[in-house]
Amino acid sequence: MSRLDLRLGLSLLLLAPACGDDGGSAAAGDTGGQDGGSLGAGQGGAQDFGQFKQILEQGEIPGPETLDDVGFFNEHKIDLPAATCAGDVCLHGLYGEMGNMISGSNCITVLIGLNTAIDVKKLERPPLNLALVIDSSGSMEGEPMQYVREGLLRMVDALDPSDRITLVDFDSSATVKVEYITGSDPALVQAIDELVADGGTNLYDGLRTGFELMAAHADPGRQNRVVFLSDGVATEGITNDAKILAMARGYSEQGYGLTTIGVGADFDVALMRTLSEQGSGAFYFLEDPAAVQEVFVEEVTAFLVPLAEDVTITADIVDNYILRAVRGTKLSTVEGNHGAIEIPNLQLAHRETVDDHEDGRRGGGGAILLELLPRNGQPRVADVGELKLRYRHPVDKQYIEEVAPIRTTVDPSEIDPEQGTFDNPSSEKGFVMLNIYVGFDMAATRAAQGDLLGALNILDSLDGAVDGWLVDHPDFDIEDDLKYIRMFADNLVAAGATQDPDMPNPAPLPEPWPED
């Protein structure tokens, strides 16, 4: 498996939070959160938090549209219990409850984890039919193109002899550099070395050409996918986003995958994100061009190893609770207390430990959020519901099912508001991640509405709670989140968020999960 052995990591994290304002939480659980060497998986779709962070680093205030829940949770690594199920993908439902980190009202969470006991060295990856479509317009001149070449050359080392690669570059028009050749063919390395930046940006022609060539060699026994990289917006040819999306949608509907990589700060974020979502691939916002090397060597290689296909996850919640919504995935429905989630495919994530972040935090896993509330007039119960997983094996195409209960490990009547109760450290970190994401979203929304002070109050409350949690739970991911919480607050103060001297007490904090 070449480089895959070095970097594959653990967790697809699916967080199901149930947060209201009816009281406190319970005593901390002490069961382990170690995953015992099991590998986890991540879902396709938008998986990058770079745009939000870059705006903060520039001293500006991000809008809520720059915050992606799938991308945020993908930058967190959580260990899961050992994968001991009979199938290739194991399902875990881990309960947690504590006062939320913004207003303090009660919050119930269920961490749903997916991992596998598969030995990656023995994993049979289908051969690739991969079309690499690279923006070679004039704006890519210099370091961006240099990093792209280096990343592509490093990726060549990870290819198997049966893989086939097509390379297309585009500026004012598309040029086919090589078509459907092996990674060991000297022509591929030569074509990569000869990539030169010049001309305009004809996104449509480049992407269409990549899809056409990939489709011409499509084989059900291969992974048929396009990887599309650009640092700009369409300036030549067909420049209408709707027409570009419609063209790509036709190929996506035939089952062909698409991953998009945006480099720098000037590319069409909305277009690249939407392209990836409808193509069941990943979207990367790379504020630093050097990160291209990471994506090509690690992320692009990892997602090409399918763990499961045609994945569905359902959650059935008992009537004592209310299922309000599903977040953190692109395809989901809620009908009453039944939630249904569809994921086109799962791939192995590459971060092995929390401290495995030399090239950035990407590749920790993914997350799906189910919002629940206790139902008024109903008693709290230990058996909260049931989760079901169904997926197709990528090799033999057989469907496999897995079931996991959602239940508390503590009698609900014994809940302690101060300490919190969690099945293990996995669900506790998931709780913190959820609260930070919601705090970012609330602050960004209020700032966009002109309420800078309201946004600042939310972040200040979150800062204190997260900082206090880290005293007893050192964690690189959460420490890095806290850095951006404080950066966001500093930017708000610089923009004029100050407390009115005639109002010595700040306004009451809003409820993150108000009761309906």
Which sign, positive or negative, has the C-alpha torsion 289, 290, 296, 300?
A: negative
> Residues 358, 488: one domain?
yes
Residue 451 lies in a domain: yes
Residues of the chain with pLDDT under 70: 1-38, 44-48, 120-124, 280, 287, 294, 297-306, 349-367, 417, 500-506, 515-516
Residue 343, in any domain of the structure: yes
Both 339 and 477 in one domain: the answer is yes
Cα separation, 366 vs 163, in Å, equals 27
Q: Is residue 374 part of a domain?
A: yes
Do residue 135 and residue 85 come from a single domain?
no
Domain assignment of residue 511, yes or no: no
Which pLDDT belongs to residue 504? Answer: 58
Residues 276 and 406 placed together within one structural domain of the fold: no
End of a domain among 262, 285, 304? 304
Would 391 be classed as within a structural domain?
A: yes
Residues 483 and 355 in one domain: yes
Place of tokens 């519901």: 385
Q: Is 482 helix (H, G, I), strand (E, B) or coil?
A: helix
pLDDT in the model for residue 212: 97
Is residue 258 domain-resident?
yes
Same-domain check for residues 148 and 249: yes
The pLDDT, as a whole number, for residue 425 is 86
Amino acid at 137: S
* pLDDT computed for residue 158 by the predictor: 79
Same domain, 237 and 324: no
DSSP structure string for 484-512 = HHHHHHHHHHHTT----TT--SPPPPPPS
Same domain, 300 and 311: no
Domain with residue 231: its CATH number is 3.40.50.410
Q: Name residue 281's amino acid.
A: G
Residues 174 and 230 both lie in one domain: yes
346 with 475, same domain: the answer is yes
Could you give the CA distance from residue 44 to residue 279 in angstroms, rounded to a whole number?
9
Which residue from 295, 312, 293 is spatially nearest to 303, judged by alpha carbons? 295
Domain total for the chain?
2
Q: Are residues 297 and 319 in the same domain?
A: no
Within a 13 Å sphere around the CA of 399, how many CA atoms are in the beta-carbon half? 6
Q: Any bridge partners for residue 135, and if so which?
A: 170
DSSP for residue 220:
T
- Token digits of residue 155: 């990726």
43: containing domain: 4-121+307-494
Query: Is 501 a member of any domain?
Result: no
Which pLDDT does position 467 carry in this prediction?
Answer: 97
User: What are the two backbone dihedrals, phi and then psi, of residue 8, each rounded to the nearest 5 degrees?
Assistant: -75, 140
* pLDDT score, position 31: 36
Q: Could you report the per-residue pLDDT of 146-192, keeping only the tens digit for each?
A: 989 988 988 888 788 999 999 999 999 999 999 999 989 999 999 99
From 282, 304, 326, give the residue that closes a domain: 304
Which parts of 346-423 fold into alpha helices (H)? Answer: none
Identify whether residues 180 and 117 lie together within a single domain. Answer: no
Residue 500 lies in a domain: no
Q: How many H helices and E strands in the chain?
A: 13, 19
Distance CA 372, CA 353 (A): 30
Residue whose entry in the numeric block shows the structure tokens 């996991």 = 404
Q: Which of 96, 252, 373, 76 is nearest to 244 (CA)?
A: 252
Q: Which of 249, 280, 304 is the last residue of a domain?
A: 304
